[in-house]
Amino acid sequence: MTTTSTATSSATSSGQAYAGAPRSAEHRLSMDELAAVIARDIPAGSFVNLGIGQPTKIADHLPADSGVVLHTENGMLNMGPKAEGDAVDPDLTNAGKVPVTELPGAAYFHHADSFAMMRGGHLDVCVLGAYQVAFNGDLANWHTGRPDDIPAVGGAMDLAIGAKDVYVMMTLFTRSGEPKLVPQCAYPLTGVGCVSRVYTDCGVFDVGPDGVRIRETYGVSAHELAEGLGITLS
């Protein structure tokens, strides 16, 4: 079902000559399946921040005995699942302002302490959504750059540079078929060279100073994927 292969970015890739999304779309992972893949890769006992949106799904796939401790940047460690019914407390939300619960061994702290924890490199893993990721690990996930768009960064830039490993979770292609893993981000950056791994519906990639490397593919060959993204298999 998955194939593993290796590619490095071509320094001369044009950056615009994309072939569009691979055709075998039915074999791509759903976001829920992808969340399970990421959950599998998070080491037991890690301290983890899951970004707003799709990454929050990862929590549902962490084994009960994983010992993973979730951080939410609005001031809590050992956050529990989403709160339902009577458990909803307006004073207890996650960073997406969704009511959540508290697990035994939780701790609360204020915003400066919470971001000191992130910025100081104490979190093991942070998983974020993205508009675009560059082969070198640059991240764009806060602003489309459209003139009529109201910019809003939240904690994205702090998260991007804070954790020991920053993973991105996203679809590999936009709805119109443009790759989101690119030689260079066209959107305004959130952080420079900060992403180490990109999890997508079509495959998993390592990115960084040495360029991009395909780790796994879903419903598409590494060769097809490399071609679609304009990267050179080594």
Partner 1 sequence: MSRAEIVESADAAVAGIEDGSTVLVGGFGLAGMPFDLIDALIRQGAKDLTIVSNNAGNGDVGLAALLAAGRVRKVLCSFPRQADSWVFDGLYREGKIELEVVPQGNLAERMRAAGAGIGAFYCPTAVGTPLAEGKEEREIDGRKYLLEYPIRGDYALIGAHLADAMGNLVYRKTARNFGPVMATAATTTIVQVDEVVEPGTLDPEAVVTPSIYVDRVVQVAARHYTVQGAR
Q: Which is nearer to partner 1, 26 or 84 (CB)?
A: 84
Q: Which is nearer to partner 1, 1 or 150 (CB)?
A: 150
Q: Are 122 and 77 in contact (CB under 8 A)?
A: no
CA distance 120 to 142: 22
Q: Give burial (CB, 10 Å; 0-12/13-18/19+) of 208.
A: middle
Neighbours of 64 (CB within 10 A): 5
Please report how close the Cβ of residue 83 comes to partner 1 at its closest, in angstroms: 11
Q: Which is nearer to partner 1, 84 or 148 (CB)?
A: 148
User: Which among 183, 127, 134 has a CA at the least distance from the CA of 156?
Assistant: 127
Catalytic residue list:
73
Q: What is the DSSP letter of 1?
A: -
Q: Are 125 and 167 in contact (CB under 8 A)?
A: yes
Q: Which residue ranges make up the site for partner 1 (CB under 8 A)?
A: 43-47, 67, 69, 71-78, 89-94, 97-98, 102, 104-112, 114-124, 138, 143, 148, 150-158, 161-162, 188-192
Query: What is the DSSP pairing of strand 125-128 with strand 100-108?
Result: unpaired
Please report how close the Cβ of residue 21 comes to partner 1 at its closest, in angstroms: 28
Please report how close the Cβ of residue 48 comes to partner 1 at its closest, in angstroms: 11
Please report how close the Cβ of residue 77 comes to partner 1 at its closest, in angstroms: 5
Q: Are 37 and 127 in contact (CB under 8 A)?
A: no
